[in-house]
A and B are shown apart, each in its own frame.
Chain A
């Protein structure tokens, strides 16, 4: 069976060789990348020009490649040869890409000086990006500006590829346009432009409006909150919007549309996963074991982030109590009361729906959270120690383990190994919260179409979240899962028209059945009566 030609293309036909447009795209795109790498060793004279050439070449390269790949193909599912190509089946190019990306993230997070980042004057790659940064925000570039720029370009260029690939599917196209917009405008341009407003007497922290706590784990760090408060009207407005997003806007949207409104339409992490990561969606692990791991890990991260954030906030409330209208004690009691009421409500309304282990998990974690807060509350914290460590220590451990290693190095660096949504599935605390709500209080579900499923497995294979969609579809059961980000690909790849993402009434949203539609009605009555 080893006679299939393996090639480098990200998708397309098994024995396709690259066509002219694809070759051209590859050369131009890699050329652009080469300019950026080259800037490490060479101090370009006209940085603005070279940067422009490099970024334009990368974008044009991806777009040309995609045009060559999809433009002349009939509309339809384009998964031919996905498992034959080494890049998309954990083969040689998959590993090379994974190692390269991982290496990039390690340098980005821990050795930024290698990229040329230097507060006293950038060199290398970071210096190459200085002109663009000055143009947008008026400041010198940082490694994060370099990253943000490349990130935005990746979502934009691969977004176009994705739109071409799914030219028959309006849902896929619209949500991709949406993530491209939110990344370019909200995550990149607006915050950069806003920092132009900063001066000696007025400053706002870099603020991506759509980036919500707890995904944005530093949202309520003391210095950020201080800056917002000091910036008066506009700062307070941002702060209020951030709080409103978490407690009002997000619950309402998630109730109406499921977590997809954020994860597949707005979020930057989701945006990268859906565009640049699209070629790797089939690599997610579908086993029951992976599902078990997923649930433990993601909710542990969520608990960690809640504890960490509570600790951090209570610390600055504690030693700066004059500055805020909220005192540390009130805050802590407030958190405990809020979580208590939330948990009691879930328990009261949804007890029957929670699987046994989910109940144990929920009780366990609630106890931990409450206990930690209680310990803290009853302990003298004169030395600023929260729990057993200082809050800042907890914050930096979180930032290192979750913010850098999990979401960056593993989450994105390992796209070609674990699939494109490993962070969203296993790690993101925001996805954790939205998921709990989606499972318990939302109108969203994936409907299955009576008895039409033939158990082929395309849906499960291409589910980036590792949901065994087929297990539900072949039983005629709606798919109501905390982890589903509503990307819609299961529905797109289904050859029998079985799956549809819908927002419908809560009644019968979860519909376990023993016998599918099509079989004798009496039998259904019998089984359902049982």
Chain B
């Protein structure tokens, strides 16, 4: 029986395993050094905030793995020897595979800041990060202040987490407005406002110079590069993005870039070795997507696709229209298609921006100014239907069509106030496009 070994029990590896099991009787082993069972990484924040217990983040009960004959192995793979198809574990154990799937995900970025390895400095990615946070920032007596470095999705989540325990937070963001590399200005400013409204000390346009230690090797303070200001703190959260977790492959024959280099079939340069999820790097980016996509659902999709290939139906990874979602403290965000921030915005893209007077709901619709083709939508505080936008994007509908039919895309709970009429009239008032 062919032995499929998967390194990494995150969403990519587990999805691959589940689908291989659906399609075949192959022997499947999942290896993880992090946890015994698959859990939802995105839910770690809710454990710290007391919304859930860690067990609740595990989508499958322990009996699931046995029932589906998926073997779970706890261990750290130190080296991969592709010539003999052997994995070497840190405890000197070995394991042979017939096909190997690398799904080891990411690790938080560290940019060589002085003091970045001190006690009390941590990212927020692994379960161990959560345990460290619980140890260093259990409450505001032990952690008088925390400083977060890096203004992305994980940064704002960490800020919300610490804030839930009334720990004062200073949030250092390199950009001059939160996440404006991705979000258009109006939206980015709305999130700045949301962060500040929650009492978080948001510092825009600043960089970390160094982290200082006390006598015990614990974090004492950080120094801001631009101003030289010293901020006393007990915890530093490094949330300046993530990069592929592939150090253990450095001495293997597997070709690496920033991640494990794969083709559209998620195959590496070595036969029978594949890579999926955050750690995989496409030779060429697919559409507007990045070569490395550290997104929950792309990991899942790569797992679904690779399972087909492994089970004899060779299939290219072919993601559909871009979509994503996040939550910025109390403001929900969804995006379908492409809406660019000021920086990366292509010439042909024009945006229509609508904001509700409450200041916590807004919509940005991007369209091609040459032919009015709808390109994408960002929606904050209003839920919208994935299926509808996916269809409209495939059909290349015009922006007028989208505006006129926006109601069909509404996904808010029953009895919620609707804003389609507002949005529509604002659109036709401010635009040269006529009805």
- List A residues at the B interface (Cβ < 8 Å): 1, 3-5, 13-16, 74-77, 79-85, 168-171, 174, 287-288, 447, 449-452, 454-458, 460-461, 470-471, 474, 488, 491-493, 495-497, 500-502, 514-523, 526
Contact = CB atoms under 8 A, between A and B. Distances in A.
A452 B334 contact: yes
B271 interface: no
Given A170-B415, A491-B413, A496-B327, A517 B320 contact: yes
11 contacts: A3-B138, A4-B50, A15-B166, A76-B330, A83-B53, A171-B416, A450-B386, A451-B297, A497-B332, A515-B304, A526-B313
B352 interface: no
B429 interface: no
A162 to B, nearest CB: 15
A3 B317 CA distance: 47
Interface residues of B, number: 65
B158 interface: no
Contacts of A452: 297, 323, 325, 334, 386
B414 interface: yes
A376 B135 CA distance: 68
B57 A15 contact: no
B428 interface: no
A15 B139 contact: yes
Contacts of B164: 13-14, 80-81
Interface in B355-411: 383-387, 390, 411
Contacts of B384: 497
A488 to B, nearest CB: 6
Given A496-B327, A518-B319, A519-B304, A450 B51 contact: no
Interface stretch (B41-49, B70-78, B230-238): B41-49
Given A14-B164, A455-B59, 4 more contacts: A4-B138, A13-B166, A458-B51, A495-B332
Interface string B292-304: 0000110011001
Nearest to B167: A15
A517 B385 CA distance: 11
B134 interface: yes
Given A169-B413, A454-B42, A496 B308 contact: no
B43 A455 contact: yes
A496 B325 contact: yes
A456 B57 contact: yes
Contacts of A13: 164-166
B343 interface: no
Given A80-B49, A496-B325, A16 B296 contact: no
Nearest to B63: A288
A61 B306 CA distance: 59
A170 B418 CA distance: 12
Contact of A520 (B142, B305, B383): B305
A452 B389 CA distance: 13
Contact of A522 (B50, B318, B387): B318
Nearest to B139: A15
Among all A-B residue pairs, the 7 with the closest Cβ atoms: A450-B386, A76-B330, A520-B318, A497-B383, A456-B43, A81-B50, A170-B415
